[in-house]
Structure formats: structure tokens, C-alpha cells
A = this chain, B = another copy of it.
């Protein structure tokens, strides 16, 4: 991929995240990377296409990161603490997309939501990623359960959904309610979950 093209994608992603689709103007995006508006049209046929490609670019990275975070660890403790190490996640995302998602997690999600409505292929893609992460989590949990680490009466499918929800929700609430400190909250939640599910 051309250097300029990647610069456009990255900067556009930032502007879209910060100002949403309508609020981000090609003028600003172009100016901020030192080219003209017309230059963008050399690489993308329309604002819509630029938006779409930004989201795909983002999803590619996101999928990689997510799947890495949901890797089987040697112990249940390690696994759960890993899931809730929000600060690490945000650090990786920041390095990847140059976006401070701690404060813009909403916008990030909203962007996906807008994209899903605009582009059917993204809908499928996003659902697929959620599915994959959910399934992977479920499998890992089931493995721990079969090893006797998790209470017998807990359904791993539901548990997986609960964990995902809690993670998304916590990041979201931390964005809206600044009195919640995301890093310590993550650790404490992990600790609490372990108490609840460990046999």
C-alpha cells in the first residue's frame, strides 16, 4: 500500500473517530496530512469508500489483537486477569491506530455501528469477529471447567457472553463516567469474577 494512502487511512480514522462520519471533513483530513482534498480522491473514489476502507483497516487490526488477548493461559487466573487488562489493550490500540480509545471508546464503537448500517459486508465481518472471540472464550472456559477449575453448574456459553459484555460495558462506562478508573476497575473485576466462578 502506498505511503500516502496509509497516511490518509490513519488520519481519516482519527478524524472519523473524533468527529464521526458527518463531522469529519475531507478538507480537514487532507490538510492535516499536508495534501489537498483532491489528492484523497486519487486513492479513494468517495468519502464513503474512504470510510469503509478505514473501518476494514481498523477491523483487521482489532481482530488480530482480540484473538491474541483470548489465548489459553496456563491458569484460569492468568486467563481472566488477561481479559481484563484494559490498559494493555488500549496501549496496543493506541500504538496501532494512534487513537486514544480510553476517552473515545464510544466513538470507536459508534463508528462501527454507523459503518455496519452503511455497509452490509461489515455487518457480517463484525458479527463474525464477535462470534469467533465468543467461541474461543467459550472453548477455553470449557477446558478449564473440564479440568475442574470452574464450578460445575455454570454454563460456559453464558459465561462467555457475560465476560464479553462486562468488558465492553466497563470500557464504555469508563469513557462516560470519568470517576471510574479503568485500570484498577479491571483488576478488581477480574478478582471478583474469579471468586464467583472458581470451584
Q: Is A172 an interface residue (CB 8 A)?
A: yes
A109→B171 CA distance, assembly (Å): 13
A179→B123 CA distance, assembly (Å): 11
Q: Kindly specify which of A48-56, A66-74, A162-170 makes contact with the partner chain.
A: A162-170
Does the CB pair B169–A165 fall under 8 Å? yes
Q: Count A interface residues, CB 8 Å.
A: 50
Partner of A107 from the list B110, B175, B178, B196 (CB cut-off 8 Å) is B110
- Nearest residue (CB) in B for A110 is B110
Partner of A166 from the list B114, B126, B166, B176 (CB cut-off 8 Å) is B166
Residues 129-171 of A, flagged 1 when their CB comes within 8 A of B and 0 if not, give 0110000000000000000000101110011011011111110
Partner of A173 from the list B19, B110, B151, B164 (CB cut-off 8 Å) is B164
Q: Is A30 an interface residue (CB 8 A)?
A: no
A177→B113 CA distance, assembly (Å): 10
Contacts A127-B179, A131-B179, A161-B188 known; 7 new A-B pairs at CB < 8 A = A20-B110, A21-B22, A109-B172, A110-B110, A131-B177, A165-B165, A165-B170
- CB-defined contacts of A153 to chain B, threshold 8 Å: 195
Does the CB pair B112–A109 fall under 8 Å? no
Q: Is A44 an interface residue (CB 8 A)?
A: no
